Amino acid sequence: MTDPDLSITDYDTWVMDLDDTLYPPDNGLAEQMKAHIRDYLRAFYGTDEAGARRIQSDLMANHGTILRGLMVTRNIDPADFLAFERRIDYSALRSDPPLAEALSVLPGRKLVYTNGSAWHAEQTLSRLGLSEHFDGVFDILAGGLVPKPHPDSYARFVERYAIDPTRAMMFDDRSANLAVPSQLGMATVLVSGPAGSRPAPYELLGPRRWRTWDVVGLLRSLTGEALRPSTTQEAIHRTSSPSVSEATASTRKPRARPN
Ligand SMILES: [Mg+2]
């Protein structure tokens, strides 16, 4: 379990994807968002549910996000598309005190980097009880409506926050979103698998590349709290709590620190 690259002093910037990274993907929020997007596609293309699903899949595969695909292929107004977020029911999201605590003891900046909107990120972080633990939210608007994994999105992100990639660690549930960060020199963590599903909180995939199924457990390892996964009770809590999908960006006020 000892990993010389997994030393907290090596990092001053922590980059977290939002949806399916800061909350598990099993609370129905992602499905809810996909359904709202299909509503939009049905109306826009005048198609049925099967047609909307096909278009949704094609746009995602070819452009990374539905929004990007619609902008490139149909020149839509992003605001019209993003209006679906206002219809999301966020009640499935619950606060996550173990994650809040793990984040609170990380030194340096903590940033959310999402393909969704800042508005969606704010709703999500608030529900999760994590709002005060992040110093900024970089959303799809901040990225010039160019989403991860396009290299231009990362270039804007790194410039916006003057990030030294060699001192940054990025977490994301999509491996495709971690390829460019890795090339830039960031340490990366692929968030994949149900929390608490294995005895160790993470595994090494390659040089400065990890995979975890327990973000809290990995953060605890970094902060030296103990090389142990989060407890079963916490794992159950996390598995049954929150979830959403990708949102937007904006700069948030620096979080208040007790001291
Ligand atoms: Mg995600």
Over its length of 259 residues, how does the chain's per-residue pLDDT go in tens digits?
A: 456 667 888 899 999 999 999 998 888 898 999 999 999 999 999 999 999 999 999 999 998 889 999 999 999 999 999 999 999 999 999 999 999 999 999 999 999 999 999 999 999 999 999 999 999 999 999 999 999 999 999 999 999 999 999 999 999 999 999 999 999 999 999 999 765 567 778 888 999 999 998 999 899 888 875 433 444 444 433 443 333 333 333 443 344 333 3
CA of 148 to the centre of ligand 1 (A): 10
Q: Would you say domain 8-27+93-240 falls under CATH 3.40.50.1000?
A: yes
Q: Is the dihedral of CA 57, 63, 68, 71 positive or negative?
A: negative
Give kind and range of the element (H or E) at residue 155.
helix 151-160
CA of 173 to the centre of ligand 1 (A): 5
* DSSP label of 132: G
3-state secondary structure of 241: coil
pTM beyond 0.95, yes or no: no
CA of 86 to the centre of ligand 1 (A): 19
CA of 17 to the centre of ligand 1 (A): 6
CA of 188 to the centre of ligand 1 (A): 14
Tell me how far apart the alpha carbons of residues 218 and 9 are, in angstroms, rounded to a whole number: 15
CA of 28 to the centre of ligand 1 (A): 14
**Please, where in the chain does CATH 3.40.50.1000 lie?**
8-27+93-240
